[in-house]
Amino acid sequence: MTSDARWVVPFRDGDRTQRSLLGGKGANLCEMTNLGLPVPPGFIVTTEACRSYRAEGGQVPGDLFRQMDEALTELEEATGRRLGDPEAPLLLAVRSGAVFSMPGMMDTVLDLGSTPVTHPGLVALGGELFAWDARRRFLEMFGKVVLGVPEEAFSQVLDRAIAEAGVKDERFLTPDQMAQVVSGFRAAIRDAGVILPEDPREQLRMAVEAVFRSWDGDRAVAYREMEGIDHDLGTAVNVQMMVFGNLNQRSASGVAFTRDPATGENVPYGDFLTAAQGEDVVAGTRLPEPLATLADDFPEAHEELVANLDRLEAHYRDMCDIEFTIEDDRLWMLQTRVGKRSALAALNIAMDLVDEGTITREEAVRRVTPVQVERLLHPRFADRKVPVLTTGLAASPGAATGKIVFSSEEARDRGRAGEQVILVRGETSPEDLEGMVASVGLLTARGGLVSHAAVVARGLGKPAVCGASALDIRLEDQTVRVGETVLHHDDVISIDGTTGKVAVGEVELVIPKDDPRLDTLLEWADQFRDIHIFANADTPDDARRALAAGAEGIGLCRTEHQFLGERLPLIRQIILSRSLEQEREALIPLEAAQRQDFEELFQVMDGKKVVIRLLDPPLHEFLPSLVDLKVKHALGTLDAEGERLLEAAVRLHEHDPMLGVRGIRLGVLRPAVYAGQVRAIIGAAVARKEAGGDPRPEIMLPLISTAHELAWGLNIVHSTAREVMDAAGVEVDYTTATMIETPRAALRAEHLAPQVDAFSFGTNDLTQLVFGLSRDDVEVTYLPSAMELDLMPIQPFATIDRNGVGVLVEMATRAGRGVNPDLVTGICGEHGGDPETIRFCHELGMTHVSASASRIKVARLAAAHAALAQSGPDASA
């Protein structure tokens, strides 16, 4: 760096676009200054200076102090006060100001310039106590931050003084007592073996260096690690004239928002403390008053403040928050930025700003995040700090309160009778479905985010906390224990499936209402996105919910859900059948039932695509648990049917069911089952067509890993469809798809794509196979440790792993389109509702993503954000 470099920028020379040079706080101080708002004058030591300091191993840039001196001289002229001047002393605030907010992570020195020499001037300004108090504050901050004296050295002195004076806190000390404290602080610094320079210019230089150093402090480094902030950015330092909210009773400090950050209502919001500094407001030892009362106490300052807030919001075209100080009835603006807000406020402010003509619809869409939409959709605990019993996996969003029941039958009966019950189980199986439907929420001790309980709950739109491994459920005495706590059957608990929290007793819930403004925002969002949003929906009810949420089709209908409940005996007959004849007979009623399901589904989804996946799970999933059967067998309590089921369960038992006989493999071993499903689908479509409908089925084959498997499956599909259509004399426009969920399918995409109309990436299974990681088994064991130790780049089941899974998805998409340019591509599964994953899909030019009904709205917005991100930054930013 040459000495010509500009290390120092006065507030009047900067603006808010210079964030990376001036830091966020400094850039906005410049902006306010240039708007003519009453900002205490000052200058900024730039991030560039900090970077140079770090690069040179802790040497300040050669010209820095000269430039600071120049800026200081200018500041003295502007304020009519001088640093170190006994009569009109200038006091300075020296604050860090990084590019990205790092609240509380770095150091600040206030009241710099309060020295024995300037004491008379300070007394003249605010009296004896004020003067000694400023000295005290300075010595403590400078001592700690710049000289490295331990905090205890100061707190001991102060505590002793307070105790000796017999008062509540330091505000009630007399000037003499405060003078004693100052003298004690000076002794503490001396005793620490460090030297306090008396020259305030020297102090200023040291304070600036100390702020530079604090960038590399342990806490700051750890915070940046956590937030992913580049360590090389460095911090700016804001040097500004002190103003005193604690000067007298005509002084105050406060914070304000241009609108209500909780609701978005267009009224200024905030609070303040009379006769206090900003740090006193933050410390929270005194209860602040609401901003509205400022009009009573400081009518002129209030009027000016409200006008400034209007001015700032119009200028920033968004809700802002500010810090202000009133010194002897004069208003000073200390900070501003675009304010943080609740989800509801984000929505309302964006919509209001559009209504007010301040921002465009595109800007409104950009300003609401998918996470905020998620919050707007589901009930949640009203109090974030409610004491929790235990925390499990956030398996299905929403919160609920209800009585504990341990059996699905009881849940079914009492739930249908209108009682609010929460089903608490070790894990769930298909047999539990009716009980799950009738409960207000689900809580399981085992299983991950793709466990049966979690998947079904999301499909039903019901809150669920899964894998709460601290739960010790004892059916023998109908209790559930967590450590020392024992809960009984019928005790009330509350669960929050958005956070995974479980609480004892009834917890107050926030229940969002359907918000037409959200629907309007999402309709706008739909105009910006170019990726379709489909739903994972298995039943007509699921489909209705998905449509209501704005789904454009069904991207995944899992047919196994048609085999549960009252149909379970039918599929068990198929499993137990000992001849093709028996199998055929058992298939007849099942096929008829499925056909009815599909007819209703096509009716609900008339004119929209419905992607139906043929049976995927291993057959033993339709049997009772092998352990239960074996135990009953040993106890001699199994009937003849039970013994047959046991025999089948033993025969079908698998070491790793995820990798066993499922998907197309099941089809190969039980071709009649697949053929029956195709007959039901095409038969239903024929019936809908005859009734004047517009059914659009797509038949999808699961767990393909070779081109020949796909060809084999498609042959069954096409030949069966042909038979049905020929028999009916009606043609149906059906299409076909293959799941890409094994790495091999992705690697062989070139040979799969010519055979089908569509690829659907099953990123749940693909992630499990790429990592060799069973979500069910590691989500509550290995993954938490791995995330903590930073061994995983991301939570790969929440967000697509671009570096591994994503590489295969990209290879397959490219290879598939290379041989079949019309190939439809999409993803289904949990990732389909994740914003970052949607962005990835958008970048790959996928046709659609398919998400569970409860995430459709989130996905619509995320898709718009993905498209807007690609089209360039927000013009208003």
- Residues that are catalytic: 452, 828
Q: Find the binding residues for a second copy in span 407-446 (CB under 8 A).
A: none
* Cα–Cα distance, 280 to 287 (Å, whole number): 10
According to CB under 8 A, which one of 101, 712, 714, 819 is a site residue for a second copy?
A: 712
Contact 563, 590 (CB under 8 A): yes
State the residue for tokens 């991207």.
555
In terms of Cα–Cα distance, which of 599, 646, 641, 604 is closest to 625? 646
Angle, CA of 293, 296 and 301, to the nearest 5°: 90
Dist CA 542 CA 556 (whole Å): 11
* CA contacts within 13 A on the Cβ side of 658: 16
For the sheet with 472-474, list strands across it: 472-474, 479-482, 485-488
Considering only residues 318, 776, 830, 834, which one is a binding residue for a second copy as defined by CB under 8 A? 776
Q: Does 470 engage in binding with a second copy (CB under 8 A)? A: no
Nearer to a second copy, 147 or 786 (CB): 786
Question: What 8-state DSSP symbol labels residue 89?
Answer: B
- Of 774, 795, 847, 876, the one binding a second copy (CB under 8 A) is 774
Which residue in 521, 770, 800, 849 binds a second copy (CB under 8 A)?
770
Question: Least distance from C-beta 583 to a second copy, angstroms?
Answer: 16
Task: Find out whether 121 and 90 touch, Cβ atoms under 8 Å.
Answer: no
**From the CB of 813, what's the least distance to a second copy, in Å?**
15
Nearer to a second copy, 634 or 875 (CB): 634
What is the closest distance, in whole angstroms, from the C-beta atom of residue 775 to a second copy in the complex? 9
Q: Assess 165 for contact with a second copy (CB under 8 A).
A: no
Under rule CB under 8 A, residue 742 binds a second copy: yes
Nearest approach, Cβ of residue 715 and a second copy (Å): 11
Long-range pairs, 85-91, Cβ under 8 A, ≥24: 85/118, 85/121, 86/117, 86/118, 86/119, 86/120, 86/121, 87/120, 87/121, 87/124, 88/121, 89/113, 89/114, 89/118, 89/121, 89/122, 89/125, 90/241, 91/118, 91/122, 91/134, 91/241, 91/242
Piece of the chain touching a second copy by CB under 8 A; list 137-145, 278-286, 411-419, 778-786: 778-786
Backbone angles phi, psi at 652, to 5 degrees: -90, -5
Cα gap 113→135, rounded to integer Å: 9
The residue range among 326-334, 379-387, 589-597, 656-664 that interacts with a second copy, by the rule CB under 8 A, is: 656-664
CB of 600 to a second copy, least distance (A): 33
The nearer residue to a second copy, 377 or 649, going by C-beta atoms, is 649
- CB within 8 Å of 106: residues ≥ 6 apart: 96, 98, 211, 214, 215, 217, 220, 235
Per CB under 8 A, does 568 bind a second copy?
A: no
Closest CA to 253 of 157, 333, 372, 167: 333
| Among positions 311, 315, 718, 744, the unique one binding a second copy when judged by CB under 8 A | 744
Query: Of 546, 703, 827, 849, which one interacts with a second copy (CB under 8 A)?
Result: 703
User: How far is 726 from 511, CA to CA, in rounded Å?
Assistant: 53
- C-alpha 574/C-alpha 620 separation (Å) is 12
Identify the DSSP state of 854: G
CA separation for the pair 190, 581 (Å, rounded): 98
Collapsed DSSP state (helix, strand, coil) of residue 697:
strand
Q: What is the closest distance, in whole angstroms, from the C-beta atom of residue 703 to a second copy in the complex?
A: 6
Q: Is 709 in the site for a second copy (CB under 8 A)?
A: yes
- Stretch near a second copy under the rule CB under 8 A, chosen from 183-191, 294-302, 503-511, 660-668: 660-668
> Binding to a second copy by residue 147, rule CB under 8 A?
no
Smallest separation (angstroms) from a second copy to the CB of 616: 12
Give the shortest CB-5-to-a second copy separation in angstroms: 37
- Cβ closest to a second copy, residue 478 vs residue 774: 774
Residue in 142, 184, 149, 145 with CA at minimum distance from that of residue 163 = 184
Rg (CA), the chain: 34
| Per-residue buried b or exposed e for 185-210, using 16+ beta carbons within 10 Å of the residue's own CB | bbebbeeeeeebeeebbebbbbbbbb
| Cβ 151 to a second copy shortest distance, Å | 33
Q: Which is nearer to a second copy, 238 or 768 (CB)?
A: 768
Taking CB under 8 A as the binding criterion, the range among 212-220, 581-589, 658-666, 853-861 that sits at the site for a second copy is: 658-666
Question: Is residue 205 within 8 Å of 142, Cβ to Cβ?
Answer: no
H/E element, 162? helix 151-165
Nearest to 742 by CA among 699, 713, 703: 703
From 592, 747, 798, 819, residue interacting with a second copy (rule: CB under 8 A): 747
| Cβ(143)–Cβ(196) below 8 Å | yes
- CB nearer to a second copy: pick between 84 and 624: 624
Query: Is residue 748 close enough to count as binding a second copy by CB under 8 A?
Result: yes
Nearer to a second copy, 369 or 469 (CB): 469
The residue (of 397 and 447) whose beta carbon lies closer to a second copy is 447
Strands (E), 671-752: 696-701, 735-740
Residue 293 or 781 having the CB closest to a second copy: 781
Query: What is the footprint of a second copy within residues 799-858 (CB under 8 A)?
Result: 801, 803-805, 807-808
If binding means CB under 8 A, how many residues of this protein chain bind a second copy?
A: 55
Question: Is 76 a residue that touches a second copy (CB under 8 A)?
Answer: no
* DSSP secondary structure string for all residues of 583-598: HHHHHHHHHHHHHHHH
Q: Which stretch binds a second copy (CB under 8 A): 134-142, 566-574, 736-744, 836-844?
A: 736-744
Q: Is 765 in the site for a second copy (CB under 8 A)?
A: yes
Measured from the CB atom, the residue of 65 and 712 that comes closer to a second copy is 712
In the bound state with a second copy, the residue whose beta carbon lies nearer, of 347 and 449, is: 449
Contacts of 170 (CB under 8 A, 6+ apart): 133, 136, 158, 161, 162, 178, 181
Which of these segments, 351-359, 401-409, 481-489, 659-667, binds a second copy (CB under 8 A)? 659-667
Q: Does 658 bind a second copy (CB under 8 A)?
A: yes
Residue of 668, 672, 714, 869 interacting with a second copy (CB under 8 A) = 668
Contact map string, positions 781 to 800, toward a second copy, x by CB under 8 A = xx--xx--xxxxx-------
CA-CA distances (angstroms) from residue 723 to 599, 690, 730, 732? 18, 17, 11, 12
Structure tokens belonging to residue 147: 């000289």
The reply on whether position 657 binds a second copy by CB under 8 A is: yes
Per CB under 8 A, which region of 43-51, 112-120, 252-260, 655-663 contacts a second copy? 655-663
Nearest to 801 by CA among 826, 842, 768: 768
- What x-and-dash track marks residues 615-654 binding a second copy by CB under 8 A? -----------xx--xx--xx------------------x
Q: Which of 20, 743, 755, 876 forms a contact with a second copy (CB under 8 A)?
A: 743
- Window of 61-69, 415-423, 433-441, 740-748 that interacts with a second copy by CB under 8 A: 740-748
- Binding piece for a second copy, criterion CB under 8 A, among 120-128, 252-260, 475-483, 776-784: 776-784
Whose tokens are 């040079």? That residue is 21
Amino acid at 182: V
Q: What is the Cβ-side half-sphere exposure of residue 15, based on CA atoms within 13 angstroms?
A: 6
Q: Rule CB under 8 A: which residues touch a second copy?
A: 626-627, 630-631, 634-635, 654-661, 665, 668-669, 703, 705-706, 708-709, 712, 741-744, 747-748, 765, 768-774, 776-778, 781-782, 785-786, 789-793, 801, 803-805, 807-808
